[in-house]
């Protein structure tokens, strides 16, 4: 028997990656962002629909809606996370934090939920961008509200 001989096998993918050309990471990112932006108006409409469902839950205020409020808030966070929604994302996250930490106990406050929903509606009406200097104060107020109920 003769000595072992090493054979280097190169896959098709390795050959393709070794060839010059292709897209730069910056180009790929720009193209992906452009494709995502084509869905922005649909996402904006869906966020409005979710807020409308939250407003209805705040009107009815049934005990069964506590879980639903959290799920709707989580849907807002999920969808808003794909786009630059400025303070809207933070307000939706605050609603999730509030409802997650209080839905099973005596700390539940429909009034606090409604304040969050109203803030989300205002931010949605502002177009989801930077809502100006008042947005920071609005978010600070939501944080204080959550802290006053939960902590």
For 2, list phi and psi in degrees, rounded to 5.
-90, 175
Segment 52-80 mean pLDDT: 95
DSSP 9-50: ---HHHHHHHSS-S--HHHHHHHHHHHHHTTHHHHHHHHHHH
pLDDT digits (tens, 9 = 90+) for 7-26: 787 888 777 777 887 788 88
pLDDT of 131? 65
Cα(37)–Cα(133) distance, rounded to whole angstroms? Answer: 25
User: Rounded to two decimals, what is the model's pTM?
Assistant: 0.79
For residue 37, name the pLDDT band (cuts at 50, 70, 90): confident
Q: What is the pLDDT of residue 9?
A: 79
- State yes or no: pLDDT of 1 exceeds 70: no
Q: For each of the domains in the chain, give its residue range(s) and CATH number, in order of start.
A: 41-150 (1.20.120)
Percent of the chain having pLDDT more than 90? 52
Asked if 120 and 95 count as a contact pair (C-beta separation under 8 A), the reply is yes
- Whether 85 shows a pLDDT value over 80: the answer reads yes
Per-residue b or e along 17-33, where b marks 16 or more CB atoms closer than 10 Å to that residue's CB: eeeeeeeeeeeeeeeee
Structure tokens at 60: 């009815």
Please state, rounded to an integer, the average pLDDT across all residues of the chain: 88
Question: What pLDDT digit, counting tens, does each position of 26-35 carry?
Answer: 888 898 888 8
At CA 123, angle to CA 111 and CA 75, rounded to 5?
Answer: 75
CA distance 69 to 71: 5
**pLDDT digits over 101-127, tens only?**
887 778 899 999 999 999 999 999 988
Q: Give every CB contact of residue 76 below 8 A, 6+ residues apart in sequence.
A: 47, 50, 51, 92, 95, 120
């Amino acid at each position: 028997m003769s000595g072992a001989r090493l054979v280097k096998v190169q896959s098709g993918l390795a050959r393709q990656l070794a060839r010059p050309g292709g897209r730069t990471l910056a180009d790929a990112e720009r193209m992906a962002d452009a494709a995502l932006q084509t869905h922005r108006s649909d996402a904006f409409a869906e966020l409005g629909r979710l807020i409308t469902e939250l407003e209805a839950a705040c009107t009815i205020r049934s005990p069964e809606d506590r879980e639903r409020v959290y799920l709707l808030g989580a849907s807002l966070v999920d969808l808003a996370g794909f786009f630059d929604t400025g303070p809207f994302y933070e307000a939706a996250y605050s609603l999730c934090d509030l409802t997650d930490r209080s839905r099973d106990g005596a700390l539940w406050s429909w009034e606090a939920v409604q304040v969050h929903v109203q803030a989300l509606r205002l931010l949605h009406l502002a177009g989801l961008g930077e809502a100006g200097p008042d947005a920071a104060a609005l978010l600070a107020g939501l944080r204080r509200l959550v802290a006053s109920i939960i902590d």
